[in-house]
């Protein structure tokens, strides 16, 4: 049952990660640089976000006037480990009901300086929620993004922005694409390899955001989450966090950086001067045993003068310019086996070809 899957993923807290304000702000700024009106007059839905904890809600609430939003909607699901832990949302809610707090919806239609102190801040947001009719309401269901109730909010929204459960990434993407909505979501880079995701990238219906291309990212986690890995700890507010590898933004919002061609050396220059020992000094690039393409294990080693098919790592998509290259396929050879070089299969590969190649 769909609801049970969500509850299980959430209950296990295996992918209950809360995105940092700095990561959200840096990513959003890239779209504003390309189009300052990208969010103007738009309704944004954050469907996996308890408003009192989510940095997504807080960022867009405090940027409501600056971005020119029409409406901001945030919903949380039943059983969220952090739902409503900062404030009691409803008067009749038991104080000791920490694990089954009711799912709710918050809607903001204006960034009003409610207490007239000359500054619009989170205290004004709390006053708006406490005093404005229908700003804070209970959900009839459990808050699952796949429920009819949340689907209606999805259909009303212009842009979906959130950090969905990593374990439900496939379903969440399908949920967005079903409604043909714009989106900005964060997920694991290996999602590129999913059969439900790669075709969207190949067909230029989805691409990677510009602000994260390498390195670990800090995510806050619920209290009690095991902090065993290196880099885990507590932030300046005393909240636990972990470091997560291979994180990327996924979107269909335009940003100018994805249309910037990558400068490359010729094949001869790469074989002579490449900084990568796997390329430098060789007589030629390796070829796959079972597909007519060359193996290029580093994006910056792609030869500028090669017209045939090229196998590149999935990190190529961090710099992919659709005007410079076309994506042929993902990972498979003619015999439907994984690509191999001298009998060994490299990690996931995307097959590309230079645009305009004969």
DSSP 127-139: HHHHHSTTTEEE-
Report pLDDT for 64. Answer: 94
Residue 309 has pLDDT above 90, yes or no: yes
Q: What's the whole-model pTM score?
A: 0.86
Residue 304 has pLDDT above 70, yes or no: yes
Report pLDDT for 334. Answer: 59
- Alpha-carbon distances of 101 from 4, 36, 119, 141, 213, rounded to whole Å: 17, 38, 31, 12, 37
Q: Which two tokens stand for residue 143?
A: 């808050």
Least confident residue range of 30-39, 215-224, 293-302, 324-333:
215-224
Q: Which residue has the higher pLDDT, 325 or 100?
A: 325
Average pLDDT of 154-167?
Answer: 94
- Residue 85's φ and ψ, nearest 5 degrees, are -80, -10
Are 6 and 168 in contact, with CB atoms under 8 Å apart? yes
Report pLDDT for 322. Answer: 96
The chain-wide mean pLDDT, for the chain, equals: 85
Distance CA 117, CA 290 (A): 69
Average pLDDT of 239-263?
Answer: 90
Q: How confident is the model at residue 224 (pLDDT cuts 50, 70, 90)?
A: confident
β partners of residue 138: 104
Residue 93 has pLDDT above 50, yes or no: no
Residue 355 has pLDDT above 60, yes or no: yes
Residue 69 has pLDDT above 50, yes or no: yes
Residue 247 has pLDDT above 80, yes or no: yes
Residue 11 has pLDDT above 50, yes or no: no
Report pLDDT for 82. Answer: 42
Report pLDDT for 1. Answer: 27
């Amino acid at each position: 049952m769909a609801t049970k899957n969500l509850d299980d993923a959430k209950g296990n807290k295996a992918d209950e990660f809360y995105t940092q304000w700095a990561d959200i702000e840096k990513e959003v700024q890239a779209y504003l640089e390309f189009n300052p009106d990208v969010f103007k007059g738009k309704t944004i839905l954050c469907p996996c976000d308890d408003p009192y904890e989510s940095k997504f809600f807080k960022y867009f609430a405090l940027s409501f006037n600056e971005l020119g939003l029409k409406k901001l909607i945030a919903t949380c699901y039943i059983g969220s480990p952090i739902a409503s832990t900062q404030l009691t949302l409803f008067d009749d809610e038991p104080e000791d009901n920490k694990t089954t707090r009711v799912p709710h919806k918050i809607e903001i239609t204006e960034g009003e300086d409610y207490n007239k102190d000359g500054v619009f801040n989170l205290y004004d947001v709390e006053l708006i929620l406490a005093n404005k009719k229908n700003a804070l309401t209970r959900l009839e269901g459990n808050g699952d993004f796949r429920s009819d109730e949340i689907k209606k909010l999805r259909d009303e929204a212009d842009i979906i922005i959130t950090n969905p459960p990593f374990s439900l990434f496939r379903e969440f993407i399908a949920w967005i694409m079903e409604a043909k909505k714009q989106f900005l979501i964060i997920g694991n880079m290996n999602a590129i390899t999913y059969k439900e995701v790669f075709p969207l990238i190949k067909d230029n219906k989805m691409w990677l955001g510009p602000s994260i291309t390498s390195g670990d990212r800090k995510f806050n986690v619920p209290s009690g989450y095991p902090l065993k890995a290196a880099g885990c700890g507590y932030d300046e507010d005393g909240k636990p966090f972990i470091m997560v590898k291979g994180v990327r933004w996924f979107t269909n919002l335009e940003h100018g950086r994805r249309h910037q061609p990558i400068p490359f050396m010729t094949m001869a220059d790469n074989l002579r001067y490449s900084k990568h020992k796997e390329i430098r000094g060789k007589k030629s690039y390796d070829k796959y045993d079972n597909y007519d393409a060359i193996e290029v294990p580093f994006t910056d080693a792609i030869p500028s003068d090669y017209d045939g098919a090229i196998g590149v790592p999935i990190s190529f998509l961090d710099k992919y310019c659709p005007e410079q290259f076309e994506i042929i396929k993902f990972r498979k050879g003619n015999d439907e086996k994984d690509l191999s070089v001298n009998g060994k299969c490299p990690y996931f590969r995307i097959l590309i070809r230079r645009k305009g190649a004969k």
